Chains A and B, each alone.
Chain A
């Protein structure tokens, strides 16, 4: 950790993460407030029902497992797993096994989904530029993520313990004491994946990915039939809501 931290390191491992967080959070709040109508899964199941039956659950379950894997790998310090008598080898075996399985599900899922999007006429016609851009960022992050799993496990190269560098760097951001030097010394594959990941979060609020934040857990607890009142009344016209309006 004696290497000097360059400006590029500061930009990539301090500025970019904080900008991403700021844009992600404010972007989501802004989008939710001004574009509730556009906040949807934009499902294309009605156009095509067979391929999506396999591809969509494969991708979604896979990506959820990947998310859980990231939370464990990035947030739980090595000290804790050591204290729990889980050896480094044990941990990596588990992480790589589950990680590769989840990653493979995700990748096969999204590959099938993109294939479906491209080859099914109606689905392709309903694909926006926004969607296509999002797919590029998402697929890049997933591919690079799989690469890091391979690199980290030693299947490719000599193996790498990212819990010495990447994870502490990630936590340091949230402790508001960023340690860019940790990330600067990690492997290029991890660095590229981290940047790709941040870019996904950066565009997240402005794509259909927002539907992830609508996971309807409340459904389990609420009564079946929902009644709604007219509620208290505000006399006269309601002021138009803020937000951008279409001109012309």
Chain B
């Protein structure tokens, strides 16, 4: 057993209202620059829908992730030699048309156009060519089922569960079901992007499992974009380098949650540690039957309360405060103890580490529409069985099509609703409800606390990186802020060349002080950037 720690996230989809605040704040912090206009480290998709980039889940087309061939794990897009043979032109690389052509508006026209008969207009201008353009697609073009009848049939998940089931997925307003799926990089235990990188520039941090791109080593071969089945590695077309969600590591290192988590209006994100057995990852990822992968992935996660695990973890150099954080980890509880959180597309065999509590709301809504008591345990359980459309769809997302784990998760959530309603209304609580989903009343209440009350310090249990090594961590990857964010720096060797600015604008200690201080720090005293902004003080520009 080789114990490693993994910073992981759980998102409670029931609470997602699709406001895109996470996407916007993430973009402001990380990808508000030339070359990455089309890049959304965090995006929110409406499901059913095509996702971003369009139909990224169709691995027959995009060849992302891993497959098992003759019992051995290999990249779906081919072995090492095949990848190298395709290095001059990657056949499975999405082009900008599969994302969208980013644009801006000619705002200056509104101010500077001369007096005339007509109101001046700000026409859209392509950020790629600088020419006038027609806006035809964007990162969330099919938001809220927009264009449903035309666009929805191209959802790769719907195409997978074709037939009798999809006939009941209706795009008509009255019968529609939908939910939102916020996505970031999965920071997988078995990352296909890292495995695809010919230069060895992509790596998994051994301390916290965050997957990063070393900007100094990336040579722009773009195999990682193909390798990632979630299409969460992007190609910066100005620098010619790969960029991806960093899990806001400069924040995580000082114990702050990621920007997307911090700013989430619904407070639906959870951050915490998993301890896992690194020696067994490849074996688990090679599990023959796709529907057994969820179980294999759960088996990798070690019980932080187990003395044997703790002993092994200490031996493998995991600090004591990290073990403490692992014991308090909300993500471990949601994924392994309560078993309500499920990984996104375990069948890609990357062992993704962003988990989702499936949404019960589509079921509850449908039930309410039929005039029933939507919070009654009996009704809800029955509805789960009857309303198989969302469940089958969810199963394709979270369990490789196996309906049972999704049903179990939804049943647990339904039990929590019914049980807590009795508590809240001052009725006699019914212990048979938690018992029906194999839980004690205490456990169910704990889960309720975590999911419904969701206190900040219970949602985010983030051990700080150890100060004695933190400086190195900050400098490991390179800054993305190579320009002022509006125009690329044109150096003599191309758009961007020369030394990048170090990523850590603040020092570790300054950041820690800011985080724990009681007073508002004057703007002049400390330079703040959005990536680390915590609401204390202002920004200096």
* A interface list, Cβ under 8 A from B: 31, 34-49, 52-53, 56-57, 59-61, 121-122, 125-126, 128, 130-131, 206-208, 211, 214, 216, 218-220, 222, 224-238, 241, 243-246
Contact = CB atoms under 8 A, between A and B. Distances in A.
Contact of A47 (B96, B482, B490): B96
B200 interface: yes
A46 B95 contact: yes
Contact of B476 (A60, A128, A224, A228): A228
A34 B499 contact: yes
Given A53-B89, A230-B472, A38 B493 contact: yes
Interface stretch (B170-178, B191-199, B264-272): B191-199
Interface string B67-87: 000000000000011011001
B168 interface: no
A40 B202 contact: no
B128 A122 contact: yes
A121 B129 contact: yes
A42 B35 CA distance: 12
A236 B470 CA distance: 10
B202 A226 contact: yes
B222 interface: yes
A219 B84 contact: yes
A226 B495 contact: no
B interface residue count range (under 10 / 10 to 19 / 20 to 34 / 35 or more): 35 or more
Contacts of A130: 492-494
B482 A37 contact: yes
Q: Chain B CB within 10 Å — which of A44, A60, A233, A244 has the most?
A: A233
Given A125-B128, A238-B471, A37 B496 contact: yes
B258 interface: no
A interface, by DSSP: helix, strand, loop or mixed?
Answer: loop
B426 interface: no
B126 to A, nearest CB: 8
A232 B475 CA distance: 12
A40 B219 CA distance: 4
Contacts, number: 178
Contact of A128 (B472, B482, B490): B490
Given A125-B128, A230-B207, A38 B497 contact: yes
Interface stretch (B12-20, B235-243, B299-307, B377-385): B235-243
4 shortest interchain CB distances as A-B pairs: A38-B497, A216-B198, A224-B195, A36-B216
Interface string B350-379: 000000000000000000000000000000
B437 to A, nearest CB: 37
Which of B203, B238, B497 is most buried by chain A, counting CB atoms within 10 A of its CB?
B497
Q: Of residues A208, A229, A244, which shows the largest number of chain B Cβ atoms within 10 Å of its Cβ?
A: A229
Contacts of A31: 493
A140 to B, nearest CB: 21
B497 A35 contact: yes
B195 A43 contact: no
B93 A245 contact: no
B195 A244 contact: no
A125 B129 contact: yes
Given A56-B89, A225-B191, A230 B469 contact: yes
A41 B220 contact: yes
Contacts of A48: 95
A42 B240 contact: yes
B472 A233 contact: yes
Contacts of A125: 128-130
Interface in B465-500: 465, 468-469, 471-473, 475-476, 478, 482, 489-500
B496 A38 contact: yes
Given A49-B93, A238-B471, A245-B499, 4 more contacts: A38-B494, A40-B219, A46-B94, A126-B237
Contact of B194 (A42, A59, A226, A231): A226
B478 A37 contact: yes
A42 B235 CA distance: 10
B194 A225 contact: yes
Contact of B80 (A220, A230, A241): A220
